[in-house]
């Protein structure tokens, strides 16, 4: 038991300060190497700080003093047991079937929040269009959505998919590029403590809600489902996962109650962020192919029932993949 807290602090503080300096050096420089002697010294300082923390039990030490020492020990423990220096060969199959869905589930709360924000935006967009239909041009950024849904459906069915003849590959690549830019922006704006991510998710929801209401009100629900489902059941979740990554980034920047430095927090989620946005990229590639080569064909060329069934199957497979894939494998480690 510690009899004299001041004497104990005076004796141990130099060792804690040395450990603090080593931690800052390692945390601020991912390429830092301590060497054999440095690692041994680091481990000794960690053990000494841990022993000091244990000696505080049963003593009425100031709360801030105890929290400081707990944080110091936790940070040192994290560095000692970190696997960041281990070289791991990327196995695409393992990354896709295990790491990506595991990472998605690990941050499921952020995904649920992204879904909620989008739903609120959709309700808002539908309400605005219902109250002020003359504002459709402002709500919907694409020219082909500004006119009457009934007229568009008639035109699309008459063209029978000929509009994109010879240009499907170009159209597909432009879709992939645009949606990838939106997704990266959705994640990157997490740097604004999540404000930018929330705005983008909300705005996407506004567009979606306005489009859905516009076509349903015109009695074109079947066309809408046949048009959106084949690619939308992949594209929309991809944008949501990008929003999930942005919210993970925001949570990391805020770092409430973590006791870690910003650099240490970022290092812990960096692998998760790259995994999520990498998965989003693959999803958008598939969605772009489907939208250009499948979604643009309507009746009488392609029955709406076939397109809707295709979209439903895709959605079920995606839910199974994100919810179940990788459960039996090794849990992906954070960076």
Q: Are residues 98 and 61 in the same domain?
A: no
* pLDDT at residue 175 is higher than 70: yes
Burial readout 182-195 (b: 16 or more C-beta within 10 A, e: otherwise)? bbbebbbbbeeebe
Residue 290 domain-assigned? yes
DSSP string covering 209-270: HHHHHHHHHTT-HHHHHHHHHHHHHHHHHHHHHHHHHHHHHHHHHH-TT--S-HHHHHHHHH
pLDDT of residue 84: 53
- Select from 58, 84, 110 the last residue of a domain: 84
* pLDDT at residue 240 is higher than 70: yes
- Select from 42, 60, 84 the last residue of a domain: 84
- Select from 84, 104, 139 the last residue of a domain: 84
The residue-averaged pLDDT of 201-213 equals: 94
Bigger pLDDT: 52 vs 122: 122
Q: Are residues 230 and 317 in the same domain?
A: yes
Task: From 113, 96, 102, select the one nearest 324 (Cα to Cα).
Answer: 102
Task: From 252, 298, 294, 291, select the one nearest 272 (Cα to Cα).
Answer: 252
What's the Cα-to-Cα distance from 159 to each of 179, 211, 296, 301, rounded to whole Å?
26, 22, 10, 10
The residue-averaged pLDDT of 95-111 equals: 95
Burial readout 251-279 (b: 16 or more C-beta within 10 A, e: otherwise)? bbbeeeeebbbeebbbbbbbbbbebbbeb
The residue-averaged pLDDT of 304-320 equals: 97
SS3 67: helix
Q: Are residues 118 and 196 in the same domain?
A: yes
What's the Cα-to-Cα distance from 141 to each of 146, 204, 218, 269, rounded to whole Å?
8, 11, 19, 34
Residue 238 domain-assigned? yes
pLDDT of residue 85: 47
Residue-range definition of the domain harbouring residue 59: 5-84
Q: Are residues 148 and 35 in the same domain?
A: no
Residue 69 domain-assigned? yes
Bigger pLDDT: 286 vs 143: 286
pLDDT of residue 271: 92
* pLDDT at residue 166 is higher than 50: yes
pLDDT of residue 148: 85
Q: Are residues 178 and 288 in the same domain?
A: yes
pLDDT of residue 91: 82
Q: Are residues 190 and 314 in the same domain?
A: yes
Residue 332 domain-assigned? no
Task: From 308, 282, 164, select the one nearest 228 (Cα to Cα).
Answer: 308
Bigger pLDDT: 88 vs 22: 22
Query: Mean pLDDT in the chain?
Result: 86
Is residue 185 within 8 Å of 200, Cβ to Cβ? yes
Residue 329 domain-assigned? no
Cα–Cα distance, 27 to 99 (Å, whole number): 25
SS (H, E, C) 140-175: CCCHHHCCCHHHHHHHHHHHCCHHHCCCHHHHHHHH
Cα–Cα distance, 231 to 206 (Å, whole number): 19
Residue with tokens 């004796």: 11
Q: Are residues 79 and 96 in the same domain?
A: no
Q: Say which range, 46-50, 83-87, 108-112, has the weakest mean pLDDT.
A: 83-87
Q: Are residues 130 and 154 in the same domain?
A: yes
Entry pTM: 0.72
The residue-averaged pLDDT of 59-74 equals: 80
Q: Are residues 129 and 261 in the same domain?
A: yes
Q: How many domains does the chain have?
A: 2
Q: Are residues 182 and 64 in the same domain?
A: no
Q: Are residues 37 and 110 in the same domain?
A: no
Residue with tokens 């925001």: 250
Confidence of residue 86 (pLDDT cuts 50, 70, 90): very low
Q: Are residues 229 and 284 in the same domain?
A: yes
Residue 100 domain-assigned? yes
Residue 334 domain-assigned? no
The residue-averaged pLDDT of 296-315 equals: 92
Residue 56 domain-assigned? yes
């Amino acid at each position: 038991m510690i009899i004299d807290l001041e004497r104990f602090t005076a004796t141990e503080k130099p060792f804690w300060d040395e450990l603090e300096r080593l931690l800052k050096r390692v945390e601020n420089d991912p390429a830092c190497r301590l060497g054999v002697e440095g690692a041994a010294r680091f481990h000794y300082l960690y053990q000494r700080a841990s022993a000091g923390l244990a000696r505080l039990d049963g003593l009425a030490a100031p709360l801030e003093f105890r929290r400081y020492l707990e944080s110091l020990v936790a940070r040192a423990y994290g560095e000692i047991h970190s696997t960041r220096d281990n070289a791991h060969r990327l196995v695409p199959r393992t990354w896709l079937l295990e790491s990506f869905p595991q990472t998605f589930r690990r941050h499921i709360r952020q995904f649920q929040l992204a879904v909620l924000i989008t739903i609120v935006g959709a309700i808002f967009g539908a309400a605005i269009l219902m109250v002020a239909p003359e504002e459709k041009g402002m709500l919907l950024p694409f020219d082909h959505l500004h006119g009457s849904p009934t007229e568009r459906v008639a035109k699309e069915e008459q063209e029978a998919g000929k509009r994109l003849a010879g240009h499907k590959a170009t159209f597909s690549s432009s879709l992939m590029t645009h949606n990838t830019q939106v997704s990266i922006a959705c994640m990157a704006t997490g740097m604004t403590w999540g404000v930018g991510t929330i705005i983008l998710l909300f705005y996407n929801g506004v567009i979606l809600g306005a489009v859905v209401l516009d076509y349903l009100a015109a009695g074109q629900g079947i066309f809408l489902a046949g048009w959106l489902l084949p690619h939308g059941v992949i594209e929309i979740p991809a944008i949501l996962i990008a929003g999930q990554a942005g919210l993970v980034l925001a949570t990391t920047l805020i770092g409430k109650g973590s006791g870690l430095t910003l650099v240490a927090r970022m290092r812990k989620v960096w692998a998760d962020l790259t995994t999520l946005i990498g998965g989003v990229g693959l999803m958008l590639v598939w969605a772009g192919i489907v939208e250009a080569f499948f979604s643009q064909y309507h009746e009488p060329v392609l029955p709406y029932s076939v397109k809707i069934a295709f979209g439903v199957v895709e959605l079920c497979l995606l839910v199974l993949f994100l919810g179940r894939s990788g459960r039996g494998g090794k849990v992906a480690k954070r960076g």
